[in-house]
Amino acid sequence: MSEVRKGYVRPLDIKHGQVDMAHGSGGRAMAQLIEELFARHLGNEYLAQGDDGALLPAPGAGRLVMATDSHVVSPLFFPGGDIGCLSVHGTINDVAVMGATPLWLSAGFILEEGFKLADLALIVQSMAKAAKEAGVPIVTGDTKVVERGKGDGVFITTTGVGVVAPGKELSGRNAQPGDAILVSGTLGDHGMAIMAVRESLGFESPIVSDTAALHGLIAAMRDSGAEIHVLRDPTRGGLATTLNEIAQQSGVGMMLQEKALPVKPAVNAACEFLGLDPLYVANEGKLVAICAQQDAEKLLAAMRAHPLGGAAAVIGTVHEDAHHFVQMTTGFGGKRIVDWLSGEQLPRIC
Amino acid sequence: MKYIDEFRDGEVARGLAEAIRREANPERRYHFMEFCGGHTHAISRYGVSDLLPDNVKMIHGPGCPVCVLPIGRVDQAIRLALENGVTLCTYGDCLRVPASDSLSLLKAKARGGDIRMVYSSADAVALAQKNPDKQVVFFAIGFETTTPPTAVAIKQAATLGLKNFSVLCCHVLTPSAISSILESPEVRQWGTVPLDGFIGPAHVSTIIGSRPYEFFAEEYRKPVVIAGFEPLDVMQAIRMLIRQVNEGRAEVENEFSRAVDRDGNKKAQQLVAEVFEMRKNFEWRGLNILPYSALRIRSQFAEFDAEKRFPLDYQPVPDHKACECGAILRGVKRPQDCKLFGTVCTPENPIGSCMVSSEGACAAHYTYGRYKDV
């Protein structure tokens, strides 16, 4: 980043200004945007290096984990969060469910010409807060501007790097017949919060996104000593899609108990109203854990003792199945498949 | 959820299953058609079939509004969006129905058509108000349940004097579909579809009441039990049907008395009668052309009729040769009897309409029940 000499350049008009093409030109306007907005809020010793990349200390032992995630969400601000904190939490969680301690993030912004600087400032502040709370600094970044009409306000891509201690790797390939399946809390909160705002559905009880960084919870789970085989955060496609991915990767089947699935009454009611299934609705602050059966209660207790795992539950078991079906015993006593999400979940006509 | 969880109680279900087992005569077989896609969905999603004795079989009927929508009608909607430049609005699950030229409304949207999903017909009217420079067309489909809201939308547009709102009306009528099933050679002549009774529509009956089904019970000697869409409703209806069959009765009974009475919602009926009139003929997917089976917009509301406002000829389009949707909708075949099921035709790539909506027989069996086939 180049230094903008004070006094020669008028400061950014955050209150009334808009993103324009010059902010992505690589020139002074861009340097000013970076300095007065990004660096001001996200600043840390690595970002302050001002080079094209961040020079980071190499971790002593273990292996590096790297994950990247692009965030496109409409609306950009929603109950319980915004695209800024979401882009920090999402990537931290992708690194953390690999069993790694997240260390650093990068952030790439694609801004649309005409986007209000005031809204961008709110998003950057939200990112800064989320990164600070998580203890995972944003150490490098990039900004591009696209013409009006060619973006959706803001797209943010974040990449995370973490380190996993020797012998502690987790993978979706490790689920074994007999294992227990747990979730860390209620399902579908984020997806329904977004849908309620996007479609202007005024539900009586407001539904709030669950966006959160899960590495603290995961650390507590690991400290419990339970033999954890798989961790995954069930984001888009919801729990059902995540479990199908794991079943496929591990070559196993799963049997869930519908009665054990934690779902908030407001989310359940909203899903019922729209003809959607909370099993397929997105989460942003929940995880699925698969562990050795004998450790299930120990792991559950550790999850419930953490603020982000208060509603954790054991929801099913892993078994042998050449077809890799995820099935569920319904609260009604029957059986059904919990299939992959096909296409988008669309509300039924009646 | 109050008023919902009570109808999904597993213990009550087991008690009911036991009662059904006791009442079903092991010497005979019972075949009941659930008319509505909502019932099909509930049966599959909650695994109701697992709780029934082997001699009680459920046959899926044609009551999924998306499934009975013929390709030619979806083509019309797509043409409106792609060739006439209108903003086309419709209900969610309508967007995926396969149409001609490998298109669907979703794919037409990707080609640049201004196609929007709405939750109600009122949303479409609001969209027209907000965009006076765009022609907004509401692609209105569904049985008697969704018809009154369409009527309201048209009246509202008339009151507001909207010049940019119209409706492509594809509303169909339940009794016509039931007649078609009962008159089909598979049921009447050949007996290849044994039918001992119907689980009657829930939401539809809140509008039209239970009276229209009395004709079927009397004329065709088929018992009808109108039931809600919750799984316990369905099981209770099955028990009531078994009882009627055992006692040699063929009556209309109402399990869904918490929402349905004999006469239905007269205000809604009047509203529908004011805005719509019968079409002489209408093509249904799988049931061919049925006389007096659908509605069109009355001439005094002609300015809100997309078929009059835009040049829209109807071209019937045959189904894919190997697609068995037609037979499945009439209960002649089961989803797993179709060669395309689960191979070429999946929810990701639906060939037939029964694979589109979650209420479709094929989608319901694929999504919830195909573990039984392996």
Nearest to residue A120, comparing CAs of A4, A23, A22?
Answer: A23
Confidence of residue B103 (pLDDT cuts 50, 70, 90): very high
Identify all chain B residues contacting A346, using CB atoms and an 8 Å cutoff: 92-93, 95-96, 117
**Contact (Cβ atoms closer than 8 angstroms) between residue A96 and residue A136:** no
Using the predicted structure, report yes or no on whether residue A164 has a pLDDT greater than 90: yes
Q: Which residue has the higher pLDDT, A139 or A7?
A: A139
Token pair, residue A184, equals 């860390």
Contact indicator for B63, B177 with CB cutoff of 8 Å: yes
Chain A residues close to B150, C-beta within 8 Å: none
User: What are B10's two structure tokens?
Assistant: 């597993």
pLDDT digits (tens, 9 = 90+) for B232-281: 999 999 999 999 999 999 999 999 998 999 999 999 999 999 999 999 99
Per-residue confidence (pLDDT) for residue A1, from 0 to 100? 46
Question: What stretches of A165-307 show up as alpha helix (H) in DSSP?
Answer: 189-198, 215-223, 238-250, 265-274, 296-304
Q: Cα–Cα distances in Å, from B166 out to A45, A190, B127, B162, B309?
A: 61, 36, 12, 9, 8
For every residue of A294-326, DSSP letters joined together read GGHHHHHHHHHTSGGGTT-EEEEEEE--TT--E
Give the residue on B whose Cα is nearest the Cα of A335.
B47
Torsion of the alpha carbons at A224, A228, A232 and A238, rounded to the nearest 10:
-90
Cβ pair A144, A109 in contact under 8 A: yes
Q: Which of B48, B92, B141 is closest, CB to CB, to A334?
A: B48
Q: Which residue has the tokens 């799988």?
A: B286
pLDDT given at position A292: 97
Q: Do the chains contact at B13 and A332, CB–CB below 8 Å?
A: yes
Distance CA A342, CA B54 (A): 31
| Mean confidence (pLDDT) of chain B | 93
Give tens-digit pLDDT for A167-176.
Answer: 877 999 999 9
Residue B146 — φ and ψ, nearest 5°? -95, -5
CA distance B264 to B268: 9
Q: Are B55 and B30 in contact (CB under 8 A)?
A: yes
Q: How far apart are CA B214 and CA B254, in angstroms?
A: 11
CB contact under 8 A, B46 and A334: yes
At residue A5 the predicted structure's pLDDT band, cuts being 50, 70 and 90, is: low
Please judge whether B371 and A265 are an interchain contact, meaning their C-beta atoms are less than 8 angstroms apart. Answer: no
Task: Please determine, for residue A134, whether its predicted confidence score (pLDDT) is greater than 90.
Answer: yes
Beta bridge partners of A70: A157
Residues contacting B13, CB < 8 A, separation 6+: A332, A333, B51, B231, B232, B235
Please compute the mean of the pLDDT values over residues B315-330 and round it to a whole number: 90
Chain B residues within 8 A of A343 when measuring between CB atoms: 96, 106, 347-348
| Ramachandran quadrant class, A99 (left: phi over 0; alpha: psi -120 to 50; beta: rest) | left
Chain B residue with minimum CA distance to A338:
B368
Nearest CA in chain B to A253: B371
> Residue A156 belongs to what H/E stretch?
strand A154-164
Q: A38-84, pLDDT tens digit by residue? A: 999 999 999 999 888 999 998 888 999 999 999 999 899 999 999 99
Query: Which residue bears the tokens 């099993």?
Result: A279
Q: In what order do the strands lie in the sheet with B30-36?
A: B56-63, B30-36, B197-200, B224-226, B252-254
Question: Beta-carbon neighbour count of residue A204 at 10 Å?
Answer: 7
Judge: A335–B357 Cβ closer than 8 Å, yes or no: no
The pLDDT of residue B9 is 85
Contact check, Cβ <8 Å, B46/A332: yes
**Residues in chain A whose Cβ is within 8 Å of chain B:** 199, 201, 259, 265, 268-269, 272, 274-275, 323, 325, 327, 330-337, 339, 342-343, 346-350
Q: pLDDT per residue over B40-64, tens digit each?
A: 989 988 889 989 999 999 999 888 8
User: Confidence band (pLDDT; 50, 70, 90) for B21?
Assistant: very high
Report the pLDDT averaged over residues B157-174: 97
pLDDT tens per residue, range A241-271: 999 999 999 999 999 999 999 999 999 988 8
- CB contacts, 8 Å: A265 with chain B: 1
Q: What was the ipTM of the complex prediction?
A: 0.74
pLDDT the model gives residue A313: 98
Task: Return the percentage of chain B with pLDDT > 70, whole number.
Answer: 99
Amino acid at B271: L
Residue A315: name the closest of B366, A331, A245 by CA.
A331
Residue A138 contacts residue A105 (beta carbons within 8 Å):
yes
> Is A332 in contact with B8 (Cβ distance < 8 A)?
yes
Phi, psi (degrees; rounded to nearest 5) at B119: -95, -20
